[in-house]
Structure 1
Amino acid sequence: MKTLIVLSVLSLCNAFPMPSSFTKCDKRKPDFDECLSEAVRNAISQLVKPIEKYHLPSFEPFQFAGVNFKPGAPSGNSSKIKFTDYRVYGRTKLNSLKAKMNFEDNTLTLELSHPEIRYEFHYEAKGKMFILPFDSAGHGTGTLKNPIYTVKFTLEEYLKDNKKYLRVVDSNMTLKPESMTMYFENLFKNKVLNDAFNQEMTESWKVVLANLSAGYIDSYAKAYGDVFNNFLEVVPLVDLFEGVQ
């Protein structure tokens, strides 16, 4: 723990070159986006463990604090749902990845396809589902089959210690899975009713996802933007890409 604190303090003061195991692509070359796509895929595959010097956490699992949903989500009824201790598994396993960097408007767009993404979380829920009241908490899981995430980072350039850096000023995400299953333990005390409700959510997964997306996707996009920013804070622009000044 002390080592991590020392590294973090040093990172705030110093600039580092790109990690030696990462690929540096040349902006001037016509195959830049192809190179960048492979470079990002390679970098993500290495995050089965954290790279502390660059403030990069492990993506197995990727963790963020949680999500709060407004009354009315996800079913249109008067309910409040809070997800905490949110863990995402499968982010380092990719079917494909396409990256496109636009230096004119400073945006980076990633399209990531995974065979499977699995979520585990703790939930707290209170409200009424149709005529059935509930006030419960417990463990929850979710699984996405063949999801495609499209993440767009909006960047800005700034100077620090006479060196140019990039930082994320906005991030947004879309999600298109082939299918989704979810299971909430103990949402209803009656196990038969609880299992039936979870089965209905699985069968109606497109409606559930549409209602959950507003809170979940924004939180997910911000969490990835924060991780990317941690990396960008310690690697100057000239060390990110060849052919930049």
Structure 2
Amino acid sequence: MAAQPLPLRNIRCKGSRRFRLLPLLLLAASLELAADAAKKQIKLPPYIHKCSIKDPNLEQCALEAGRAALPQLVKGDPSLRLPSLDPLTITEIHIQSGNQLNMHCRNIVMKGLANADLVSLGIEKSYFTNVIRIPRLELSGDYSVDGRVLLLPIQGSGKAVYVFENAVVFYKQNHVLEKERDRYYLRFRENSVQFNCSNAHFTLENLFNGDKQLGNTLNNFLNENWRAVVDDLGQPFMEAAAQVIREFAFAIIGNVPYDEIFNDVELPE
């Protein structure tokens, strides 16, 4: 199944840095899931193992189930109308850093999620947490930029490749139970994302109107100072990956009755 744009939410970062994820198209699969949920019950596929909510080792059971299911889900599942995650297309990422930088990235192809590993998973009454490690996450696409990065001027437009090595993403997702059509469903509220990586590499073509000397100098500087670049500009890309995974996973969970996700649940009266 071909890669499709996902409906990613706007996100505001801490401090003066902010970015917006602005897809031009919605993923039809997510809309169809919501429409199907209004008509009939959606059941988990057989490769997703159900755990008992009363199991004293619930988190370990859920972690093992998640690890087993993740490779299948990343491939896509026609029965759930879910596309493949690798590669995946994100329509647009807009990065602004105060008045210092304005950057647009378009037609972004993301590769590497097929090798994602679910490191840990936590289940609390009002929120879930999980940690995912991605050995190598590569994003490529078109860019345009104007402003300053790490106090140096940057200007150009063209093709770009961004690579993050050993990316570790931590999610915290708040949720509540809501009753719909005589069944209870998990509904997701605010979420937070943190990330880190062991290395990063950036290649921006056609900087400074194609001046190769200036372009090579700036690319070398960005890569020599990759940690500072990640701290300043990397969060949009990592949070884009985080949102992709979140939307993908919770499009399933949010449309399956709660008592179909876990065994032995105690529902409100």
Mark yes or no: TM-score above 0.5. yes
Q: Which secondary structure state, in structure 1, belongs to the residue aligned with residue 213 of structure 2?
A: helix
Compute the TM-score of the two structures, normalised by the length of structure 2.
Answer: 0.77
Alignment CA distance shift 1:62-1:185 (3 Å):
same
Matches within 5 A, 1:70-85: 70-72=96-98, 78-85=100-107
- Determine the C-alpha separation between the residues in 1 that align with 2:262 and 2:95: 39
Match status 1:23 vs 2:49: yes
Equivalent residue letter for 2:143: Y
Q: Hey, what does 2:222 align to over in structure 1?
A: 201
| Corresponding position of 1:126 | 146
Q: Does 1:116 align with 2:142?
A: no
**Cα 1:210/1:139, change in 2 over 3 Å:** same
Letter in 2 for 1:59: L
Q: Separation in 1 of the partners of 2:79 and 2:32?
A: 6
Deviation at residue 71 of structure 1 after TM alignment: 4.4
Q: Secondary structure at the match of 2:113?
A: coil
Taking a change above 3 Å as real, the CA distance of residues 133 and 84 of structure 1, as seen in their structure-2 partners, is: closer
Counterparts of 2:29 and 2:116, CA distance in 1: 29
Within-5 A mapping of 1:76-115: 78-95=100-117, 97-102=119-124, 104=125, 106-115=126-135
Query: What does residue range 19-58 of structure 1 map to in structure 2 within 5 Å?
Result: 19-58=45-84
Query: CA separation of 1:5/1:240 partners in 2, compared to 1, >3 Å: closer, same or farther?
Result: closer
> What is aligned with 1:69?
95
**In 2, are the aligned partners of 1:167 and 1:229 still within 8 Å (CA)?**
no
Q: Distance in 1 between matches of 2:140 and 2:255?
A: 31
State the secondary structure of the residue aligned to 2:227.
helix
- Between the aligned residues of both structures, percent identity stands at 20
CA distance in 2, matches of 1:67, 1:85: 9
Contact 1:47–1:60 under 8 Å retained in 2: no
After the TM superposition, which of the residue ranges 191-200 and 5-14 deviates more from structure 2? 5-14
C-alpha distance in 1 between matches for 2:189 and 2:114: 25
Aligned to 1:59: 85
Residue 133 of structure 1 deviates from its aligned partner by 6.5
Instruction: Give RMSD over aligned pairs.
Output: 2.8
CA contact (8 A) 1:110 1:150 kept: yes
2:11 corresponds in structure 1 to none
How far is 1:167 from its partner?
1.9
Residues 126-145 of structure 1: matches in 2 within 5 Å? Answer: 126-127=146-147, 134=155, 136-145=156-165
Residue 211 of structure 1 and its aligned partner are, at CA, apart by 0.9
**Separation in 2 of the partners of 1:226 and 1:235?**
14
Report the TM-score, using the length of structure 1 for normalisation.
Answer: 0.84
State the Cα distance separating 1:243 from its structure 2 match. 1.8
Structure 2 CA distance for aligned equivalents of residues 161 and 51 of structure 1: 25
Residue equivalent to 1:182: 202
What letter matches 2:87 in structure 1?
P
How many residues align structurally? 237
CA contact (8 A) 2:66 2:118 kept: no
Name whichever of 56-65 and 175-184 sits farther off: 56-65
> Would the aligned equivalents of 1:16 and 1:234 in 2 still touch at CA under 8 Å?
yes
List runs of 5+ in structure 2 lacking aligned partners: 2-27
Structure 2: distance between partners of 1:221 and 1:131: 29
Q: Does the CA-based 8 Å contact 1:11-1:53 persist in structure 2?
A: no
Query: Letter of the aligned partner of 1:145 in structure 2?
Result: E
Contact 1:116–1:147 under 8 Å retained in 2 = yes
Q: Answer yes or no: is 1:147 the counterpart of 2:173.
A: no
The DSSP-based 3-state class of the residue aligned with 1:46 is helix
**CA-to-partner distance for each residue in 1:164-210, whole Å, 9 max, x for gaps?**
00022122211111111111111231122212211211111111111
Q: CA deviation at 1:219?
A: 4.5
